[in-house]
Amino acid sequence: MRIVKNIWAQLHRFVFWALVLSLLWSWIYTFVGDTTRDKKLILCVDAYALDQRPLALRLEDEGLPAGIKMIQVRSFGYDFLGTELEGDLYLMKASILEATLADTPGKLAPLTLPEGMAGYERDGKSWGILVFDPETQHGPAMNYIQYTPLPDPEPEAYYLCFDAAGPHYAGNDGALDDAAWEVAITFLEIDK
Amino acid sequence: MHEFYTPERLERLARRHRLVKRLLYLLAFAALAVCVVLTCQVNTHNIYDMLLACICISVGAAWIIIYFGVYVVRDGGRELAHAKNLADGPRETVTGTVTVLPLKVRIRNSVTLRKLRVETAKGPAEYSVQIDKVEELRRAGERLTLYTVHGYVVAWQRAEEEAGHADR
């Protein structure tokens, strides 16, 4: 009984320190769980639903490219593309890709696709790899990404695009490596 | 005569005070060390488990440190300081019927006291006693001889015991 009374008398201290320590550790772990941009590859996904962490873990399990310590998967919308959004890869709908090329030229890098790989063509250049085909309604990582709302009368195609300023695509000026391409290929193979 | 602050008791209190203080420092460093080790082993898979473990360990250690820090280290230290202040003061003796008043007096950075009213032959008088000692005084009865320093009770004796000693 005395212990309970003592604890009750010090409850404010217990609560205060629990809050302070929780915030402190959460703050510390935001740094511990991150790394510098040159060791991190960022995949931005604009889909109806996305399991960010499980998809990042799955991609890491498939093998990290040399020099890369972590893969981050982020959710984004079209509005973010005009901002300082720093991705290496963007998974987006065909309509968003068209709008991006029209509104923010220079945001996405032109690609050289291997023979037989379907992509988004415009002005004689490829700008994205076809990921989700609306005709077959099939794409990679469907356990992690919801490509279409249910039911959707007119599902859209999805393309995987590369940031023109990203440090991990060999086609960009000053690129450190070609990790974005390696991760893109890994992504295309997930559960396919 | 029953002394509240005998040298043996104060020595025991000081020893406990030192020991608990060291144990709490040890606990704080151990908790910090475990958290640092866990944090060094973080990867993408276990980051949330490690974060939860660090929060639980540090909050658990903090609660133990707060509890014992307040009720053993702080209160023990205050009692030691209080006893030290009274050790060399001039003692007075008062005999009468003792009533413990409900009034609790909290001295900043010192012990908590309870007021006593003593009905003596010359009239009523008020004294203070450390709150932990009140139970002992209550059990002793009402007619008591109190030994006080600067108005604080440091020892007591049943009035009849004192009379018996005097007769002999």
What pLDDT is stored for residue B164 in this prediction? 59
ipTM over 0.90: no
Contacts of B54 in chain A (CB under 8 A): 25, 29
How many other CB atoms are there within 10 angstroms of residue A140's CB atom? 20
Q: What is the mean pLDDT of residues A105-121?
A: 89
More confident residue, B155 or A152: B155
Cβ separation of A29 and B63 shorter than 8 Å? no
Q: What is the mean pLDDT of residues B11-27?
A: 95
Confidence category of residue A97, pLDDT binned at 50, 70, 90: very high
Percent of chain B whose pLDDT exceeds 90: 58
Best mutation target among B41, B46, B51 (most A Cβ atoms within 10 Å) is B51
Residue of B nearest to A7 (CA): B67
> Which of B44, B51, B66 lies closest to A25 in CB terms?
B51
Instruction: Please say if the pLDDT value at position B163 is more than 70.
Output: no
pLDDT by residue (tens digit) across B45-68?
899 999 999 999 999 999 999 999
B1 near B153, Cβ under 8 Å?
no
How far are the Cα atoms of A164, A178, B121, B137 from residue A65, in angstroms, in the given order? 19, 9, 95, 77
pLDDT by residue (tens digit) across A18-31?
999 999 999 999 99
Q: What is the mean pLDDT of residues B68-84?
A: 91
CA of B85, closest CA in chain A: separation in Å?
27
pLDDT by residue (tens digit) across B87-121?
888 999 999 999 999 888 888 888 999 999 999 88
Q: Touching check for B63 and chain A: CB below 8 Å?
A: yes
What pLDDT is stored for residue A82 in this prediction? 67
What pLDDT is stored for residue A155 in this prediction? 82
CATH 2.40.50 holds for B91-167:
yes
Question: pTM (2 decimals)?
Answer: 0.74
Distance, CA of B81 to CA of A47 (rounded, Å): 68
Partners of B144 in the β-ladder? B96, B158
CA of A119, closest CA in chain B: separation in Å?
32
Q: Give the three-class secondary structure for B127.
A: strand
Contacts of B70 in chain A (CB under 8 A): 6, 10, 13
What pLDDT is stored for residue B71 in this prediction? 92
Instruction: Please say if the pLDDT value at position B19 is more than 60.
Output: yes
Residues of chain A that touch chain B, judged by Cβ-Cβ distance less than 8 Å = 6-7, 10, 13-14, 17-18, 21-22, 25-26, 28-29, 32-33, 56-57, 60, 70-71
Percent of chain A whose pLDDT exceeds 90: 62
Cβ separation of B70 and A22 shorter than 8 Å? no
Which CATH number among 3.40.640.10, 3.40.50.1980, 3.40.190.10, 3.40.50.2300 corresponds to the domain A36-189? Answer: 3.40.190.10
Size of interface A-B (CB pairs under 8 A): 50
Residue of B nearest to A9 (CA): B67
Instruction: Please say if the pLDDT value at position B167 is more than 70.
Output: no
